[in-house]
Amino acid sequence: MGGGASVELLLLLATPLTGALTLGLLGARRFAPELNIGFSLLTFLAACALAVRVVAAGRLIVAHDQFFIDAFNVFLVTLTAFVGLTTAIFSRPYMRVELEHGRVRSTQLRLYHSMYQLFMSTMLVALTTNNMGLLWVAMEAATLSTVLLVTLYRTAASLEAGWKYFILCGVGIAQALFGTILLYFAAEHAIGAEGVSALLWTHLNGVKGQLEPAVLGLAFVFLLVGYGTKVGLAPLHSWLPDAHAEGPTPISAVLSGLLLNVAIYAVVRCKVLVEGSLHSALPSRMLMGFGLLSVVLAVFLLWRQRDIKRLFAYSSIEHMGIITFAFGMGGAVANFAALLHMTVHSLTKSAIFFAAGHAAQKAGSQLMDQIRGLITVSPTIGWGLMMGSLAILGLPPFGVFASEFLILTTAMREQPWATPILLTALAVAFAAIFGRVQPMVFGETTAKRLPHPPALLPVFVHLGLVLVLGLYIPPYLADWYRAAARLIGGGG
C-alpha cells in the first residue's frame, strides 16, 4: 500500500473542478462553450495519460490509499472523459440554438456550464475513490449537480422531472448510505476499530472472507436498492425517463451515457465485496432478477412512448438491465461482455441523443409524430439517428451486437431459463424502436433550418468507434477488459 501521488490523477480530478469554478466566476461569456470544451479536452488528456500509466505499471494506490486505479475503473474513467469531451463539443451549437429559440436565457448558461464541469468531476471522483464513504458522497453530489440542469427550461414538466429526480434519488441514495454504514460496521468487527481504513475498498477486499455474512447480506440489499435507483433498475426507474426527456439534450446524453455507468460501477464494487463474504449466489441472483425485471418492463413501456427522448431513455433502462443481468451471471465471459456493453451502450446512446436533440430542434417538437423526413432536410442527422438506432438495437456489425451475442450465449449455457425472456425482450424492443425511427427518418418533411450548423462530428465518431468495436477489439483493449473481468470475478 503506498502513499505517493500521481500527477495524472491530480490533473484528472482538478481540471473539471477548476473548470466549474472558472466558468461559474466568469459568468455568461460568449466564449464559455469553447472554455467548456477546453476543460473537457484537458480532462480527457489527463485520463489518457492515467490510462497509459496504469496499463504500463499496473494498479495505482495514491493519496494515503484514498484513491486507487485498477483495470476496471481506468477504462471507465477514460470513457467518461471521452464522452464528456464529445458532449461538450455537441453542446456548443446545441445550446446556442436553444438560446436563439428562447428556451434558455444567456445568464442560465453560466449555471449550465459550471454544473456540467462539476458533474464531470463528481463522476470522476466516484470512479477513482477507494473509500466507500466518499463514493457515496460523490454519487449524491452527482445528483445534486444535475438537478438544476434538469429544470433548466423551467417548464412545468421539467420542474416535475427535477423534483422526482431529487426525491427518488435522494431517498434511494439514503438507503445506500445505510448500506455503507453496515459495511463499515461489519469491517470494524472483522478488522477491529481501525477508523479510516475500514471503509477502503482495497482493504475490505483483502479481508472480505472474514466479514460477517449476515450483516453484509443486509448491507447489500440496501446498497443495491440505493445505487440501483441511480442505475434506473425497475421498479425504481421512474425518475429516469422524466429527467432524460425534460432536461437539455447534452445532459440527457451524459446522464444516460455516463451517470448510469458510474452507478453500475458502484453496484459491482459492492457485489465483489459481498460475494466474497457470503459464499452464496444471493447477490448474483438479486442482480439477475432486478436486471431481467428492468429489461422486461422497459421494453413493454417502449411501445407507449410518444416523445423521442423518452423512447431512448426507456431503451437505456433496458440496456442497464442487460448489463446488470450479465454482471449477475458473473464469470470471465459474462463480465467481459458486460464491460463491452457498458462501453458501446455509452457511446451509442450519447450519439443517439445528439442526433435526436438536433432532430427535435429542427422539428420544433420532441413528439415523434411531428418529426418527419429528416433524411431530406438533413441527411447527416437522419442517417445518424438511423445508424444509431440500428446500433443500439444490436444489429451486426455494430459493437452492441457483439456484446449482446456474448451475453446471450453465456446465458444459454449458465442460465438457460433466462434466454427466451431476453430474446423476446430484444425482439420487442427492435420492433418498437425501429417502427418509430423509420418514419422520422424517411417520409414527408416538416423540418426547418437551424440558425447554427449542428455539430455532428461527435455522432459519427461515436458510431464509428462502436462499429470498430463490433468488428475488431484491439488486443490491448481486450486484455484490459479481461483483466477487469477477472477483478470482478463471480459466476461458476
Partner 1 sequence: MNGAPLTLQLLNFCAALLLLLSFAMLSQRRIVNLVNLLAVQGSVLLLATLLLAARTGQHHLYLSAALTLGLKVILLPWLLHRLIRRLGVYWDAEPLLNISGTMLVGVLTVVFAFGLAQPISQLASTATRNAIGIAVAVVLLSFLMMITRRKAMSQVVGFLSMENGLFFGAMSATYGMPMVVEFGVALDVLVAVLVLGIFFFQIREQFDSLDLHHLESLREEAGHGGRS
Residues in contact with partner 1 by CB under 8 A are: 66, 103, 131, 133-134, 136-137, 140-141, 144, 147-148, 151, 154-157, 159-164, 166-167, 170-171, 174, 177-178, 180-182, 184-185, 188-189, 193, 195-196, 198-199, 212, 214-215, 218, 238, 241-242, 245-246, 301, 304-307, 310, 360, 364-367
Measured distance CA(59)–CA(6) in Å, rounded: 12
Measured distance CA(431)–CA(410) in Å, rounded: 24
Rounded to the nearest whole angstrom, what is the least distance from the CB of residue 104 to partner 1 in the complex? Answer: 12
Nearer to partner 1, 105 or 306 (CB): 306
Rounded to the nearest whole angstrom, what is the least distance from the CB of residue 338 to partner 1 in the complex? Answer: 27
Query: End-to-end distance of the chain based on CA atoms, in angstroms?
Result: 31
Nearer to partner 1, 245 or 407 (CB): 245
- Cell digits for 329? 451471471
Q: Give residues with Cβ within 8 angstroms of 221, minimum separation 6.
A: 179, 286
Measured distance CA(291)–CA(321) in Å, rounded: 4
Rounded to the nearest whole angstrom, what is the least distance from the CB of residue 228 to partner 1 in the complex? Answer: 16
Rounded to the nearest whole angstrom, what is the least distance from the CB of residue 161 to partner 1 in the complex? Answer: 6
Rounded to the nearest whole angstrom, what is the least distance from the CB of residue 193 to partner 1 in the complex? Answer: 8
Measured distance CA(284)–CA(276) in Å, rounded: 12
Measured distance CA(96)–CA(90) in Å, rounded: 11
In the DSSP assignment, the letter for residue 27 is: -
Measured distance CA(411)–CA(283) in Å, rounded: 17
- Cell digits for 294? 428492468
Rounded to the nearest whole angstrom, what is the least distance from the CB of residue 201 to partner 1 in the complex? Answer: 13
Q: Which helix (H) or strand (E) holds 62?
A: strand 60-62
Nearer to partner 1, 2 or 235 (CB): 235
Radius of gyration of the CA atoms of the chain, in A: 21
Nearer to partner 1, 150 or 268 (CB): 150
Nearer to partner 1, 171 or 457 (CB): 171
In the DSSP assignment, the letter for residue 442 is: S
Measured distance CA(13)–CA(125) in Å, rounded: 7
Nearer to partner 1, 40 or 180 (CB): 180
Rounded to the nearest whole angstrom, what is the least distance from the CB of residue 162 to partner 1 in the complex? Answer: 7
Nearer to partner 1, 188 or 414 (CB): 188
Tell me which residue of 149, 37, 153 sits closest to 105, measured CA to CA: 153
